[in-house]
Amino acid sequence: MAVVRLRASLRDKVWGRRKLSPWFPDAAEPVGEAWFLADGEELPLLVKLLFTSDRLSVQVHPDDGEDGPRGKTEMWHILEAAPDATIALGFRERISRERLGEAVRTGEVEELLNWVPVRAGQTFFTPAHTVHAIGAGIVLCEIQQNSDVTYRLWDYGRPRELHVEQALRVSDLGVHGGAVTGREIAPGVEELVRCRFFETDLVTLEAGESRAVEARTCHLWICIEGRGEIDGQQFVAGEVWWIQGSGTVRADVPSRFLRCFVPR
């Protein structure tokens, strides 16, 4: 088995923050995203950690074949959330495309969105075409198709390019289902998301417990708590490991992972 710890690439963002602990050392400039990359190879999935001190733009992503071969379906697992933290997913009620266009022109689009409170441990599935925004005071893990095609509908007056025509063309105008409900599929394994692009489970290991790793396509283990070994290599929280083949994960202390892979 080959085991590779992915490299964390930190990205400055106007809505980011300097306090990154316990995931990374605190930063001199606001960091909004950490991308986990495999040197010399582009994986079909991309894992990010997002750190927010302000709202992200209201945006939407296309599906495969709508603006290039690969679209962007994603999911979020909330790691930290301030008491008043919210995200926007879809609309409070179904609207027309004409109404959405008018709301973007007048700045009313924020009021049409369904802003929901979030807390650590929740998971949200955001398929392509879902209009969404992430609020302030959140740290989350994002698992997505490896694509960065984004159409901004609204950016609160910040001087960044908008893509209103493209966004209106692909936006789902309905109501989103909200947080997902996990389902236990094995002791210590909770199914979170299943879609045609990726499957993600929450895996919990007690101190001293080991778990066999099956061979999967683009098999990523994202440590969100704990420490231990993956085939003799030490892991800690905040790391993403690409496991090629089968092997064993062993926890030294109580540990939790998001385990994701591309379906067969």
pLDDT given at position 68 = 83
pLDDT given at position 80 = 98
Q: Please say whether the structural domain 183-262 has been given the CATH code 3.90.230.10.
A: no
- Candidates 172, 150, 177, 170; CA nearest to 162 is 150
User: What sign does the dihedral 211-181-15-161 (CA atoms) show?
Assistant: positive
pLDDT given at position 27 = 97
Domain boundaries, the chain: 55-170, 183-262
Whether 138 and 54 have beta carbons less than 8 Å apart is answered as no
Percent of the chain exceeding pLDDT 70 equals 100
Low-confidence ranges of the chain (pLDDT < 50): none
Percent of the chain exceeding pLDDT 90 equals 96
List the Cα angle 139/200/220 in 5-degree steps. Answer: 80
Evaluate whether 55-170 and 183-262 have a shared fold.
Answer: yes
Cα–Cα distance for residue pair 93/77, rounded to 1 Å: 25
- CA distance between the termini of the chain: 19
Q: Please identify every residue annotated as catalytic.
A: 152
- Candidates 192, 213, 218, 204; CA nearest to 6 is 218
Instruction: State residue 193 phi and psi, 5-degree precision.
Output: -135, 135
Tokens at 47, concatenated: 């894992």
**Assigned architecture for domain 55-170:** Sandwich (2.60)
pLDDT given at position 123 = 98
